[in-house]
Amino acid sequence: LAKTTQPISMDSYEGQEVNITCSHNNIATNDYITWYQQFPSQGPRFIIQGYKTKVTNEVASLFIPADRKSSTLSLPRVSLSDTAVYYCLVGEISNFGNEKLTFGTGTRLTIIP
Amino acid sequence: DGGITQSPKYLFRKEGQNVTLSCEQNLNHDAMYWYRQDPGQGLRLIYYSQIVNDFQKGDIAEGYSVSREKKESFPLTVTSAQKNPTAFYLCASSIRGRVAYNEQFFGPGTRLTVL
């Protein structure tokens, strides 16, 4: 099973770029990597998804090296409203065709004024 | 507005009682999911359904039951067999069954406390 490992917490100052790395050493060929953001007592919200190389949208970039054993979520110029928990999700289909989704433990990002 | 609704937001029950959590979506999504989240933990998959009248167990299905009689609705029953039911429960949906490749939309969650 593809398990994910993320730093438990990170601090950053407003206006800086923040990079959060997720390790997924056993990622399978057909797996995609997805990142979610969660505020306290709310459901997670989709940020970005990718398979390889680099993906960019209006809020973040996702960097995936050639071996795909890790991925890095990059948040440009963070603000206080980016304080949240960020989850790395690696999609995996088990041998029986069932969904086997693994949410990481999450990284608690705190933005300091 | 399109989205997912969960009710109630807070729920209190006595130990030994069954309780049903509601999840409704008007996004016309085929797939729906139930997760459990404990304090300081990630999300764990309880059950999921890719189509009406069909559902599959996730990692922690014991003590839970679901039904999918309508595309819009995916209620979760927490039975008395669930040893530690106090948690934050999240419902999600996606446009296609293979959530690994598609964005999941989450509801606001129901916080269940068993006294």
Q: CA–CA distance from B91 to each of A50, B31, B66, B73 (Å)?
A: 23, 11, 12, 10
Write the DSSP string, B56-106: EE-TT-TTEEE--SBTTB--EEE-TT-S---EEEEEEEESSS-GGGS--EE
pLDDT band at residue A29 under the 50/70/90 scheme? confident
What pLDDT does residue A3 have? 77
- Decide which of B30 and A96 is more confident: B30
Write the DSSP string, chain A: ----B--SEEEEETTS-EEEEEE-TT--TT--EEEEEE-TTS--EEEEEESSEEEE-SS-EEEE-TT-SEEEEEESS--GGG-EEEEEEE--B-TTS-B--EE---EEEEEE-
> Reduced to 3 states, what is the DSSP secondary structure of residue B37?
strand
What pLDDT does residue A102 have? 65
Structure tokens at B44: 């764990």
Residues of B in contact with A9 (CB under 8 A): none
Q: Is the CB of A50 inside 8 Å of chain B's CB atoms?
A: no
CA distance B79 to chain A (A): 23
What pLDDT does residue A105 have? 77
pLDDT tops 80 at residue B1: no
pLDDT band at residue A89 under the 50/70/90 scheme? confident
User: β-pairing, B10-13 with B110-114?
Assistant: parallel
On the 0-12 / 13-18 / 19+ scale of CB atoms within 10 A, B91 is buried
Q: Is the CB of B95 inside 8 Å of chain A's CB atoms?
A: no
What pLDDT does residue B101 have? 59
The 10s digit of each residue's pLDDT in B46-105 is: 999 988 999 989 889 999 999 999 999 999 999 988 889 999 999 999 886 555 556 889
Q: Is the CB of B109 inside 8 Å of chain A's CB atoms?
A: yes
pLDDT tops 80 at residue B110: yes
What pLDDT does residue B112 have? 95
What pLDDT does residue B102 have? 67
Q: What are phi and psi of B25, to 5 degrees?
A: -135, 145
What's chain A's average pLDDT?
A: 88
